[in-house]
Amino acid sequence: MARDLSVRIGTLALPNPLIAASGCFGYGLEYEEVADLSALGGVCVKGLFMTEREGHPPPRIVETPSGMINAIGLQGIGVHRFVEEKLPRLRERGARVFVNVCGSTIDEYVEVSRVLTEAEGVAAIELNISCPNIKEGGIQFGCSLIGTAQVVSAVRKATHLPVIPKLTPNVTDVASFARAAEDSGADAVSLVNTFLAMVIDVETRRPTLTNVLGGLSGPAIRPIAVRMVWECAREVKIPVIGMGGITDARDALEFMLAGATAVQIGTANFVDPFVWTKVLAGLDDYMARHEIEHLSDIIGAFDPTPPTPVHA
Amino acid sequence: MARDLSVRIGTLALPNPLIAASGCFGYGLEYEEVADLSALGGVCVKGLFMTEREGHPPPRIVETPSGMINAIGLQGIGVHRFVEEKLPRLRERGARVFVNVCGSTIDEYVEVSRVLTEAEGVAAIELNISCPNIKEGGIQFGCSLIGTAQVVSAVRKATHLPVIPKLTPNVTDVASFARAAEDSGADAVSLVNTFLAMVIDVETRRPTLTNVLGGLSGPAIRPIAVRMVWECAREVKIPVIGMGGITDARDALEFMLAGATAVQIGTANFVDPFVWTKVLAGLDDYMARHEIEHLSDIIGAFDPTPPTPVHA
Amino acid sequence: MPPIDVDATVIANRRLSRDYNVLTLSAAAVGARTRPGQFVMVRPARMTDTLLRRPFSVFEILRDANGAPTAITLLNKRAGRTTNRLYEAEPGERMACLGPLGKPYTPVAAPQEAWMVAGGVGLAPFATLAESLASQGTRARLFYGARSDQELFYLDLFERLGVTLIVTTEDGSRGERGRVTAPLDRALGSRAPGTTMIYACGPEPMLAAVAGVAERHRQRCEVSVERTMGCGLGGCYSCVIKVRDGATPPHFVRSCISGPVFNGAEIVWD
Amino acid sequence: MPPIDVDATVIANRRLSRDYNVLTLSAAAVGARTRPGQFVMVRPARMTDTLLRRPFSVFEILRDANGAPTAITLLNKRAGRTTNRLYEAEPGERMACLGPLGKPYTPVAAPQEAWMVAGGVGLAPFATLAESLASQGTRARLFYGARSDQELFYLDLFERLGVTLIVTTEDGSRGERGRVTAPLDRALGSRAPGTTMIYACGPEPMLAAVAGVAERHRQRCEVSVERTMGCGLGGCYSCVIKVRDGATPPHFVRSCISGPVFNGAEIVWD
Ligand SMILES: Cc1cc2nc3c(=O)[nH]c(=O)nc-3n(C[C@H](O)[C@H](O)[C@H](O)COP(=O)(O)OP(=O)(O)OC[C@H]3O[C@@H](n4cnc5c(N)ncnc54)[C@H](O)[C@@H]3O)c2cc1C
Ligand SMILES: Cc1cc2nc3c(=O)[nH]c(=O)nc-3n(C[C@H](O)[C@H](O)[C@H](O)COP(=O)(O)OP(=O)(O)OC[C@H]3O[C@@H](n4cnc5c(N)ncnc54)[C@H](O)[C@@H]3O)c2cc1C
Ligand SMILES: Cc1cc2nc3c(=O)[nH]c(=O)nc-3n(C[C@H](O)[C@H](O)[C@H](O)COP(=O)(O)O)c2cc1C
Ligand SMILES: Cc1cc2nc3c(=O)[nH]c(=O)nc-3n(C[C@H](O)[C@H](O)[C@H](O)COP(=O)(O)O)c2cc1C
Ligand code: FES
Ligand code: FES
């Protein structure tokens, strides 16, 4: 039986549902020696503004129980240098390029998206309205239903590329944000971005990160992320891209069963840059064991009926 | 140097800041053989409604990376049986008893609080407006500023005991809830309750918990909880009681530096029921090393100035 | 006597099969207090990525020449993360071991007979129980069901204690083929009501069946249940099982403190 | 050549002091590709409660009689959770070991001299560098500063390779008392500019001082920095350091891929 792992995000066809999460895979090219970029479902590159950004002074990360907090501050080369220096090579490598688009203003989101639309080789635009690590823009839009709608509508008008707002988990009712995104013309939503978090060094009474606050990612957040993906997938008809602490095929499947059409892997890629082939093999194995021909058949197949007693 | 670990929650003096978290220490008496109840700062008992509650069918817990999800569903003996069967013995043991009060309606919160006020030996009322595991009441109030204000004001009128609403972390801006609580007459706030979360069994496609959703606790959530406590402590003047993943003295100190006057320990008590003496010893050791005479001096002493470079 | 928490060292690890092993832990002080049917809560002590402890019956209490406990053993079966780690444990590793916990079995004395019914790893509580019965001179049988011959362990231990063995396997590779309740049911046919105490431990469907058989034959029956336990001390309310005891309607009780051993007739099976 | 990830076994663990040890890992394939100054990202492979890997210089590349690599060693100093675990590791344990990573030192040939400056565990990259220098016949010195006599390790290794040793300790228990930069500064006084390549590894204040000394004496200087690293591959942007290279204003570069070895003159020290 030929097993088909492909999934569709609107008009975009991916050979498999595994996408490298933004900020966790550089511009993709950093990994060209350890991973076959064309074998990934997609590569979502680090968040880009119009211009270069320096980011926060280090320390920028701290490990936490089963997780990590980052406050990179969106260091980046800006969309123009990306289009010139990185995109051609990513295309050459056969990567399906998702670009994580940032902005301090709605206009900036629109401008960056326009540049990417005119460039060749961008598969989709992920709107980062959920970065907890910058002063203006980002999460300010993502924590307001109106802000979300405004950014999405504005970018929608500026591009024919799939528009995928990335939602923050730092809200009371994430499904309402998915709905606002859908209503404003989004082709899909992705979630979760990181949870606002901090660690204090009790010996010095000072923060561990220069930025004080950062975003929590990794396995620690997975059970919350799965819940949020499930809530969103029940609320909207557009595809949901799920992420948060995925480390193996079981985790990826958990998100897909909860309703994710595709998934992103972030932190786990740091722990094991060869995670991709392992997860793909695990998905394949699961499909074989469960006699699944098309992986897309399991999207949303979670059955909330209580479990049969474990002790039976 | 005699080290003073005492703290005050309004008029309530505690010999030290360590309180057993509700739902993680039974009614306290389950632990009388392993812990000296009078040596704890306080014992917060399992959530109580007016009448007995059966709770959810098992499985009720599942372990997650550095955490656990519970959906106990507030199984409990009701406030009357508590007052008759448990409270006298808790008093005998010298415990400072915090009672976690639940309600399906505002009236029920008021009624339960009234019964407790008339009983002898209750030190404070913690209002559980944040339990994610029940259909009516609980988190419905805790996710609405008006609901929070209503419950707190109503209970405030019915009791002279310290009223401590327990806040849910499943909101966009937890500090606004702390403010609503303070404005409505709360003597303190406690946080965090658990994060709504779920785990899917990918082999069966079914939930791992009968209730599907449950609350995530344990070290996994600590960095988010610390951030929220810091936000609240900066927003309100009343004391904040911090919790979420505390396992040792370092963790307890982290919450206190962030602004917590006292802390609660929940999940870690399952891992090690002797955690109390260890954390107390650790606090004492920290005070000795840092020449701190009164532990209360460090409350809110976190200095957000960026760290001196680690590599110096 | 309150439970204690011992930072135990793995003294030995004997692998019995691809799934089963017996782990010896230097938890003499726990062993000294343990009564048959009680359990311990165990967690690897060093940098484990599992959070909660896991419950295990005390399998054997090892003793020195003077009868003083020197260690305990656990009969471990691989089921997931912690049990896999216990299977792979090397001597020298540390395990936090909290116990003894829970209500023990109620041993009976002659002229009552004691019949133990074990399914798979449910054998665990019966080594200490058989010892205690033997020391009182109570006649005992063990009905022991397993998947196959390869998963029948420690028969000699029970034989040495004078326990009559009745073995069944699912694949028929030893003893009767099928469920252990079949020979139990037949054997009870020749016993007068109220003369036999039945002790059972194993998967819940087996326990339910055994409790049913016992009731039909009007014999007392104690079962040890294995619910998911978060704390083992009554703190978390995770381990509940529905019972029908006395006047109140059926309700959930915490199997870690009201059990794990229950009167089989009182349990409301799922 | 791309890095590889080896599921390495701990072959030996030699404790040098209460804080230092040398861990031998069966990561021959990593060793075969490693050049002096490169590093590996290590993580215990079994059920560890740490999440991220940690960076370590490759200390030695062990070889068989034919010169084929058989294993690598790490010089480990206890600083926190992972380094404590590496200190306590027992032979047989597994460590995931990813590498080699990063830019190596640039070896120089005669008539240039190679002067290595190590502070504490900053000795790590210099065993392989000294070997490589010796094989090229480059004259080498090692300025090695430590807290005390007790924390000066592997001096014989460097002596065997013909490296001139200049030792300082903070407590004066061996060599000159004080910082390692003092004898370095004095010795450079007698060297013509551009004749000496200085390689440094150690705490950043030391690196900054060494870079300053080198600049004053107009010698080239390569420093290996130790920023907190999340991935080691350029993926996370955690490990940045500010550099001044060419036309652009000072900016952050990722020390895992642009370094860890940098031209000391280019770094903007905190
Ligand atoms: C009182 C008591 C005594 C027990 N005695 C023994 C014994 O002597 N030997 C032995 O091998 N096992 C015994 N068990 C079962 C043992 O506790 C579980 O197999 C173990 O907890 C599984 O943990 P894990 O980390 O290996 O599996 P996990 O990775 O946690 O889960 C794997 C599977 O085990 C199930 N499981 C998880 N936790 C428990 C739990 N606490 N109880 C039952 N099932 C669980 C899960 O539902 C899942 O299907 C006993 C259980 C109880 C309650
Ligand atoms: C390129 C490179 C090569 C290195 N080579 C060696 C070596 O050969 N031998 C050796 O013993 N150490 C070496 N280090 C330092 C080593 O990586 C850290 O000591 C280690 O990461 C600390 O991890 P931990 O889990 O023990 O400490 P943690 O519990 O994570 O933290 C303890 C302390 O170490 C600091 N720290 C945490 N992570 C890092 C990190 N990635 N880099 C530096 N400091 C950190 C923290 O700020 C904290 O103060 C090297 C570092 C780098 C960047
Ligand atoms: C170091 C780091 C940098 C990140 N940078 C970005 C970013 O630039 N844009 C963005 O949308 N998300 C960013 N994220 C969030 C991840 O894309 C992802 O949403 C989150 O980490 C959860 O997934 P994970 O648990 O698999 O890492 C970053 C995460 C990490 C850990
Ligand atoms: C098994 C369990 C039961 C709980 N029951 C209650 C409860 O009845 N009332 C309540 O307010 N919080 C309850 N909580 C939440 C805890 O009191 C605490 O807020 C939360 O677990 C975070 O702290 P921790 O990480 O230290 O456990 C419960 C938590 C757990 C794990
Ligand atoms: S295991 Fe916690 S109450 Fe029984
Ligand atoms: S360590 Fe991740 S970019 Fe350098």
Give the count of domains, chain C. 2
Peptide bond into C6 cis (omega under 30): no
Ligand 4 atom closest to Cα of residue B219: 25
Confidence (pLDDT) at B310:
55
Is residue C48 situated within a structural domain?
yes
pLDDT at C245: 82
What is the C-alpha separation between D61 and D31, in angstroms, rounded?
Answer: 6
Range of the domain at D152: 113-226
> What's the C228 CA to ligand 1 centre distance in angstroms?
7
CB contact under 8 A, B312 and D203: yes
Q: Mean pLDDT, to the nearest integer, of A195-204?
A: 98
Angle C261-C264-C269 from CA coordinates, rounded to 5°: 105
Q: How far apart are CA C36 and CA C75, in angstroms?
A: 14
The answer to whether the Cβ–Cβ distance between D252 and A23 falls below 8 Å is: no
Which pLDDT score is estimated for B297?
98
pLDDT at res. A102: 95
List, in order, residues 6 or more apart from C66 with CB less than 8 Å away: none
Residue list, ligand 4 pocket, CB within 6 Å: B 21-24, 46-47, 70, 72, 74, 100, 128, 131, 166, 193-194, 217-218, 243-246, 265-268; C 236
- Whether residue D135 lies within 8 A of chain C, CB to CB, comes out as no
Give me C71's structure tokens: 């260690």
CATH of the domain at D65: 2.40.30.10
CB-CB contact of C211 with C221 (8 Å): yes
Q: How far is the CA of A275 from the centre of ligand 3 (A)?
A: 16
Give the Cα-Cα-Cα angle C241, C246, C251 (nearest 5 degrees). 30
- Considering only CA atoms, which residue is closest to atom 1 of ligand 4? C236
D156 touches chain B (CB under 8 A): no
Distance CA A38, CA A23 (A): 19
Q: Count of CB atoms within 10 A of residue D256's CB?
A: 27
CATH number at residue D222: 3.40.50.80
Share of chain A above pLDDT 90, in %: 92
Q: Considering every ligand atom, which ligand is closest to the CA of C121?
A: 1
User: What mean pLDDT is reported for chain C?
Assistant: 96
Residues C81 and C137 in one domain: no
The architecture that CATH gives domain B7-52+72-196+218-298 is: Alpha-Beta Barrel (3.20)
Instruction: Determine the pLDDT at residue B312.
Output: 41
Q: For residue B131, indicate whether it is catalytic.
A: yes
In contact, D196 and D187? CB cutoff 8 Å: no
- E strands within chain D? 4-15, 20-25, 39-44, 54-57, 60-63, 69-77, 94-101, 113-119, 140-146, 164-169, 176-177, 196-201, 220-224, 240-243, 251-254, 261-263
Chain D residues with CB-CB distance to C44 below 8 A: 47
For residue range A114-169, list pLDDT tens digits in order: 999 999 999 999 999 987 776 666 777 889 999 999 999 999 999 999 999 999 99
Residue B136: the pLDDT is 65
- DSSP category for residue C163: P
Q: Which residues of D171-191 are buried (b: 16+ CB within 10 A; e: fewer)?
A: eeebbeeebbbbbbbebbeee
Contact state of D49 with C47 under an 8 Å Cβ cutoff: yes
Classify C214 as helix, strand or coil.
helix
Q: How many CB pairs under 8 A join B and D?
A: 13
- Kindly state whether D80 is in contact with chain B, defined as any CB-CB distance less than 8 angstroms: no
CA distance A161 to A98: 10
For chain A, the C-alpha Rg in angstroms (whole number) is: 18
Strands (E), B49-192: 61-64, 67-70, 97-101, 122-128, 163-166, 189-191
Q: Of C101, C136, C168, which residue is a domain's last? A: C101
- Mean pLDDT for C231-258 is 93
Cβ atoms within 10 Å of B312's Cβ, excluding its own: 12
Chains that touch B (3 or more CB pairs under 8 A): A, C, D
* Ligand 3 pocket, residue A100 CB under 6 Å: yes
Q: Chain A to chain D, count of Cβ pairs less than 8 Å apart?
A: 86
Task: Kindly state the tokens that stand for C141.
Answer: 């049988």
Query: Is it the case that residue A312 has pLDDT exceeding 50?
Result: no
Residue C167 C-alpha, separation from nearest chain D C-alpha, in angstroms: 37
In Å, how far is C87's CA from the nearest CA of chain D?
13
Q: Is D80 on the interface with C (CB under 8 A)?
A: no
Q: How far is C255 from chain A (nearest CA, A)?
A: 13
Residue from D231, D253, D269 whose CB has the most chain A CBs within 10 Å, to mutate: D231
The minimum-distance atom of ligand 2 relative to the CA of A208 is 47
The count of other CB atoms within 10 Å of the CB of residue B203 is: 11
The CA distance from A73 to B164, in Å, is 37
For residue A67, the chain B residues in CB contact (below 8 A) are 65-66, 220, 223
Per the CB < 8 A criterion, the answer to whether B307 and B22 are in contact is no
Of the three residues C77, C101, C125, the one that is the final residue of a domain is C101
- The reply to whether C48 touches chain B by the CB within 8 Å rule is no
Considering only alpha carbons, which residue of chain C is nearest residue D86?
A: C47
Amino acid at A35: A
**Polymer length in residues for chain B:** 312
Residues of A in contact with D237 (CB under 8 A): 23, 26, 46, 55, 60, 72, 75
User: Within this chain, do residues D59 and D131 fall inside the same structural domain, yes or no?
Assistant: no
pLDDT reading at A240 higher than 50: yes
Q: Which residues of chain D have pLDDT under 50?
A: none
In a domain, C236, yes or no: no
> Cα(first)–Cα(last) distance of chain D, in Å?
33
- Same domain for D57 and D124? no
Q: Are residues D63 and D23 in the same domain?
A: yes
Name the residue of D51, D227, D228, D236 whose CB sits within 8 Å of the most ligand 3 atoms, as the mutation to test its pocket.
D236
Check: CB of residue B265 under 8 Å from CB of residue B43.
no
How high is the pLDDT of residue C1?
A: 81
Closest ligand to the CA of C82: 1
Report the gap between the CA of C240 and the closest CA in chain D (Å).
Answer: 29
Same-domain status, C150 and C79: no
For residues C119 and C97, membership in a common domain is answered with: no
Q: Quick check: A285 contacting B, CB < 8 Å? A: no
Residue A310 reports pLDDT greater than 60: no
pTM: 0.96
Answer yes or no: is C59 within a domain.
yes
* Rounded Cα gap, residues B94 and B89, in angstroms: 9
Cα torsion C148, C150, C156, C161: sign: negative
* Cβ neighbours of A222 in B, within 8 Å: 64-65
Pocket test for ligand 1, best of C38, C54, C85 (most atoms within 8 A of CB): C54
**A301 to chain C nearest CA, in Å?**
25
Q: Give me ligand 1 centre to Cα A18, in Å.
A: 33
B249-258 and B222-235 helices cross at what angle (nearest 10)? 30
68-87 in chain B: CB under 8 A from chain A: 69
Q: Searching chain C, which residue's CA lies closest to the CA of residue A220?
A: C49
> Considering only CA atoms, which of C194, C191, C154, C149 is closest in space to residue C173?
C149
Mind listing the pLDDT tens digit of every residue in chain B (312 residues)? 579 999 999 999 999 999 999 999 999 999 999 999 999 999 999 999 999 999 999 999 999 999 999 999 999 999 999 999 999 999 999 999 999 999 999 999 999 999 999 999 999 999 999 877 766 667 778 899 999 999 999 999 999 999 999 999 999 999 999 999 999 999 999 999 999 999 999 999 999 999 999 999 999 999 999 999 999 999 999 999 999 999 999 999 999 999 999 999 999 999 999 999 999 999 999 999 999 999 999 999 999 999 876 554
Q: Which residues have C-beta within 8 Å of that of residue A208, sequence separation ≥ 6?
A: A59, A62, A69, A198, A199, A200, A201, B307
Helix (H) / strand (E) element for D83: namely helix D81-88
Tens-place pLDDT, residues C165-218: 999 999 999 999 999 999 999 999 999 999 999 999 999 999 999 999 999 999
